[in-house]
Amino acid sequence: MIVQHSMLTYFLQMKLQLNGCVLLILAVFASCYDTTVGLSNRTRATGYTFAARSGGRLKIQGKHFVKDGQRVFLSGVNLAWIAYGYDFGDGQYQNRRDRFEHYLKLVSDNGGNSIRVWVHIEGATSPAFNDKGYVVGLDHKGTFLSDMHEYLESARKYNILVFFCLWNAAVKQNHAHMDGLIKDMSKLQTYLDKALIPWVKAVKDEPAMGGWDIINEMEGEMKKNLVSSDPCYDTTALAHSGTGWAGQLYSPLEFQRFINRQIAAIKLADPEALVTVGSGADISNKLGGQNYYSDNCLVKSGYELFGTLSFYAVHTYDWQGKFASDSPFLHSASDYGVDRPIIIGEFSQVKGAGRKIEDMFQWAYDKGYAGAWSWQALATGDGSDTIDTQMKALRYMRNKADQTKGGLVTIKL
């Protein structure tokens, strides 16, 4: 049996945070023993066998991603779904598998190294809820984890890192389940215990597991014009913005608590996990906005010390032919004044203020950003580029490897 040193350090810290709840620590710590390390192929408790990594995990060093000692630039696309909210669990992936693999191959063949995929969205089919809104598992039929393993193994074959986005606040449709998790912490806890933590533990050693995105654009459902002496909760500065376009449903505190506790759960299950949120707003306090995702705001709202972002992911589209003044395409990454990597997580040429997509990727590479993901592979909606346009950009980026700028694009998993 092997216990990773980083795991031991982490749980000693957790003991302090939990005020001596030693039984809980021991229960969780027991799950960290790994008898499979060192095998060329590993078999998890689920019985699923997966290939060992070629080299180490994707990690963070300062404001950059690194793998095997090399600075890495995440060059890829948002998929983001095949059937919106109906892709994984309950046997659904088997009906989508060929199309999922098609896009993995397409990204790989054109030189990309990463992809962002949406999963629960609003909780239509995963996770599984009972009639009172409490989570009872990842899905009802028990195929979710095998779906994940199968998809991640396909991604490994094509050397594509996968970043799973859990929830979506940019569109409000079948919202009751997600609403319960945001407002009721007892319901959220069942999601953490019955779904998220088992999911993270099951996939954390998959070579293609890149990272986690808790929620897409919480700004879509955030209340504006809230007055508070605390900048974390005051939204008066958003009065004339598009914030709340899907409905002004939640305060910053409610969203921050929701995000904080999920990040902490992920890091509890996998201390090396990389976690972010997809932000449709300013992520700094230096460009005239407010960073609602700061460590201070997240911990203050959710009380979990480890529930903080590993990196930032900013989304940007033009409005009436112009980018907002805080858009990453008008600033270097250093202008935001943050201490961790920033990726441009959604953008498109068609909503790019007249810029060509190759120039947008090059801007991200040259200006200190850690990655760029175009929107989106299915090419649906007014803000999306065609798949041909997006692949042209990946081909343009494929051979870049400058360690003084963006870093290496071609990686081996």
What Cα–Cα distance (Å) separates residue 217 from each residue in 98, 117, 283, 354?
Answer: 29, 14, 12, 24
- Does 346 qualify as catalytic in the annotation? yes
The catalytic position among 206, 219, 221, 346 is 346
Q: What is the largest CA-CA distance in the chain?
A: 60
CA dihedral 225, 229, 233, 235 (to 10 degrees): 20
- Does 358 qualify as catalytic in the annotation? no
Contact (Cβ atoms closer than 8 angstroms) between residue 174 and residue 124: yes
The catalytic position among 150, 217, 219, 221 is 217
Residue in 324, 201, 341 with CA at minimum distance from that of residue 271: 201
| Residue the block writes with tokens 């696309």 | 77
Q: How far apart are CA 165 and CA 275, in angstroms?
A: 10
Residue in 370, 391, 372, 381 with CA at minimum distance from that of residue 310: 370
Q: How far apart are CA 378 and CA 384, in angstroms?
A: 8
Measured over the CA atoms of residue 231, residue 232, residue 234 and residue 235, the dihedral's sign is positive
Extract the tokens encoding 242.
């598009």
Q: Which amino acid does the sequence have at 35?
A: T
Q: Is 404 exposed, middle or buried (0-12, 13-18, 19+ CB in 10 A)?
A: exposed
Catalytic residues: 217, 346
